[in-house]
Copies of this chain bind each other. A is one copy, B any other.
Amino acid sequence: MAIDPAARSVAVLGPQGASSDLTYDRLIIATGARPVLPDIPGINLPGVCPLHTMGDALAVNDLLERASSSCSAVIVGAGYIGLEMAEALVGRGIDVTVLSRSGRLFPTVDTEFGTAIKNELARHGVHVVRSGNLEEITAAGDGRRLVAHSSEAEGVTADLILVAVGVQPDSRLAASAGVTLGTNGAINVDRAMRTSVPEILAAGDCAETWHRLLQRNLYLPLGTTSHKQGRVAGETAVGRAGRFEGCVGTQVVKLFDLVVARTGLLDCEAREAGFAPTTVETEAWDHKAYYPDASKLRLRVTGDRATGRLLGAQILGTWGKAEVSKRIDVFATALFHEMRVDAMSDLDLSYAPPFSSPWEPVQMASQAWSARL
């Protein structure tokens, strides 16, 4: 495929190899992201799988079905995809080792939560190894399995090696059309999702994301953002005044019986952005402890000491019980409106004993932050 911006046309290769030109008034590039694959010996060996396309998933499934009963897997990467895959593979009875370059799990939340995640993985038999860089993949002596060699750990032998060390924007088509790239090589866009080339728009994992708190573009490929950007790009394309209001960094993941969620900025991110952050952790029951089945939540609130402004929150709780993901959404909505931490107590949130307390845990955590200051 190739774009000719001057002619406003796209050359498309048809199924029979014949090329045809499509002309456009507006063009939206939504080429997404592709997995980062380290350029190391053995990365293309059979049994080494990226996780990107449906085909990748089917290939993994195929390998697992053909594998022996005592199948083992190495997962390279300890982010969302890596850890979600660890849970999925354990569910199929597979012995899983996660190689984490820094030894940190799920660096999108504070190390305090990372430790809880590590314990949860250990409880389900997942081995976590601080590995440094992956350096080479070789065939094992049995000619069937593979060995992952890394800079700071012993080689690990497994039937399957999944590589989930992040994604990069697939902006090659855009670049070839002369579109300006920005952060991390993502397509530079404005709030209406316009690129540097007139009539060409971009949206989704191939493009930059406006961050509402940082007030600048960064590269943060997420499905929720892609949906919003796609809508705005569509509006702009048909001449309506759409505007992407920005992300605040909201994310959630289920890992076995844990749910971990975050929104806004971590303490370190806030400091780097010029705020004066303080983070306070609070423990609270998800609902009234006298009502059956209450479980403990951990909430970390980050606020700005100088202004009292809410900067971020992280919550860790039990899956199926603590409504962690919607609680982070309350913080996300508060961040959207630039609320102060102490104003969280003004929100009229729902209460009945099976669900919460008269002060919602998100409010208790905010009050604990204010009290600490």
Residues of A within 8 A of B (CB): 212, 222-228, 231, 245-254, 259, 261, 263, 319-321, 323, 325-330, 332-337, 343, 345-352, 354-356, 358-360
Instruction: State the CA gap A226–B351 with chains docked (Å).
Output: 12
Q: How far is the CB of A153 from chain B (nearest CB, A)?
A: 29
Residues of the B chain whose Cβ atoms lie less than 8 Å from the Cβ of A251: 350, 352
Chain copies in complex: 2
Residues of the B chain whose Cβ atoms lie less than 8 Å from the Cβ of A332: 347-350
Residues of the B chain whose Cβ atoms lie less than 8 Å from the Cβ of A336: 346-348
Q: How far is the CB of A178 from chain B (nearest CB, A)?
A: 31
Q: For A252, A329, A360, which residue has the most chain B Cβ atoms within 10 angstroms?
A: A329
Q: For A247, A323, A349, which residue has the most chain B Cβ atoms within 10 angstroms?
A: A349
- B263 and A329 contact, CB distance less than 8 A: no
- A354 and B319 contact, CB distance less than 8 A: yes
Residues of the B chain whose Cβ atoms lie less than 8 Å from the Cβ of A212: 348
The binding surface of chain A is classed by DSSP as mixed
Also in contact, A224 and B348, with CB within 8 A (given A319-B354, A333-B333): yes
- A224 and B349 contact, CB distance less than 8 A: yes
- B351 and A252 contact, CB distance less than 8 A: yes
- B227 and A359 contact, CB distance less than 8 A: yes
Also in contact, A224 and B358, with CB within 8 A (given A263-B348, A336-B348): yes
Q: How far is the CB of A126 from chain B (nearest CB, A)?
A: 18
Instruction: State the CA gap A336–B347 with chains docked (Å).
Output: 7
Residues of the B chain whose Cβ atoms lie less than 8 Å from the Cβ of A330: 326, 329-330, 333
Also in contact, A350 and B323, with CB within 8 A (given A228-B345, A355-B254, A358-B224): no
